[in-house]
Structure 1
Amino acid sequence: MNFLSRRLVMPNDLNFAGSLFGGRILEWIDEEAYIYAACQLDAKSLVTKHIGAISFESSAYQGDVVEFGLGVKAAGKTSITLTCVVRNKQTKQTICVADDIVFVHIDPNTRKPLAHGKTKQDLDAIKIETPA
């Protein structure tokens, strides 16, 4: 799992109880997963097809820094399936896990699925620099 991106929990990210709003974290997961998939496939014409099991494990609060760990679970002919773990940067406590996030590579003109040309082995071999 590569932890590549971080966000600061701000006041407008909170729910009525003062913790990170679940909808906000799902928005962030979709965006972070798209960026990761686009970088892995070296393609930007991707659409979210599916987000499977989502498990909220703990809360995050204003001022917390959360980080996003992403990994490739599978690669199909036109799709890529990821797993995302969101955790507190300081404590390393898991906040949320989103599994089976599927993106489909599409032709930008026809919007039809298009082969991306990568295998799981190709994607596993990509070396990623992680921030300190």
Structure 2
Amino acid sequence: MEKIQVEPKSVFTTRLVKSEDLNHHGTLFAGRTAEWFVESGFIAAASLVNPTGVVCLKIHGMFFTKPVRPGQIIKFESKIVYAGKSSLVANIQVTQSGVEKPFVDGFITFIHVNEHTVPSAHNIEITPKTEADIALYEQAKALKVKG
């Protein structure tokens, strides 16, 4: 089967930080952020393949640079920046409304699976064009999961 050439394309989701999303310091709980982070990456992967065949393999990291307070609106920008035979690696950047610099950034590897949850080829090849996407492609490629 011939490979499908795809340029990285951003998918956006937004969230309102509410009281049930807070930790004991009154700021956004990292666990809730992780939930939204994975969900956002999943949506980017599901924009390329059938969502029933996508599973999360590994969160490569979520680096926080500042706290988020209740009432703030945050935006998740996710895009698939690298594809292996069955893997899809998403880069997710999280920003606060009105602020361009991300306060959370990281990568997640998803695996395309068949109905028996066995990894299967997705036939997608990521072809980055911009300098930023090329840099993300190289970072994601270096994360290749062994095992």
TM-score (normalised: structure 2): 0.75
Partner of 2:47: 39
CA distance in 1, matches of 2:49, 2:43: 10
Per-residue CA deviations over 1:105-124 (Å, capped at 9, x if unaligned) read 0002x210111111113xx5
1:85–1:96 Cα contact (<8 Å) kept: yes
CA contact 1:65–1:90 (8 Å) conserved in 2? no
Whole-angstrom CA distance in 1 between matches of 2:11 and 2:93: 9
Question: Which of 14, 17, 41 does residue 6 from structure 1 map onto?
Answer: 14
C-alpha contact (below 8 Å) 1:9/1:66 kept by paired residues:
yes
Distance 1:68 1:86 in 2: 5
Q: 1:34 Cα shift?
A: 0.5
Q: Which among 122, 128, 140 is matched to residue 116 of structure 1?
A: 122
The answer to whether residue 68 in structure 2 is matched with residue 68 in structure 1 is: no
Whether the 8 Å contact between 1:2 and 1:69 is mirrored in structure 2 is yes
Instruction: Answer yes or no: is the 8 Å Cα contact 2:74–2:96 preserved in 1.
Output: yes
In the alignment, which residue of structure 2 is the partner of 1:103?
Answer: 110
Rounded Cα–Cα distance in structure 2 between residues aligned with 1:91 and 1:117: 37
Question: Which residue is equivalent to 2:4?
Answer: none
Whole-Å Cα distance in 2 between the matches of residues 61 and 118 of structure 1?
39
In the superposition, the TM-score normalised over structure 1's length comes to 0.83
Number of residues paired by the alignment? 121
Per the TM alignment, residue 3 of structure 1 is displaced from its structure 2 partner at its CA by 5.5
- For structure 1, the 5+ residue unaligned runs are 126-132
Gaps of 5+ in 2: 1-8, 130-147
RMSD: 1.8
CA contact (8 A) 2:44 2:80 kept: no
Structure 2 match to 1:53: 61
- Once residues 98 and 52 of structure 2 are traced to their aligned partners in structure 1, the CA distance between those partners, rounded to angstroms, is 32
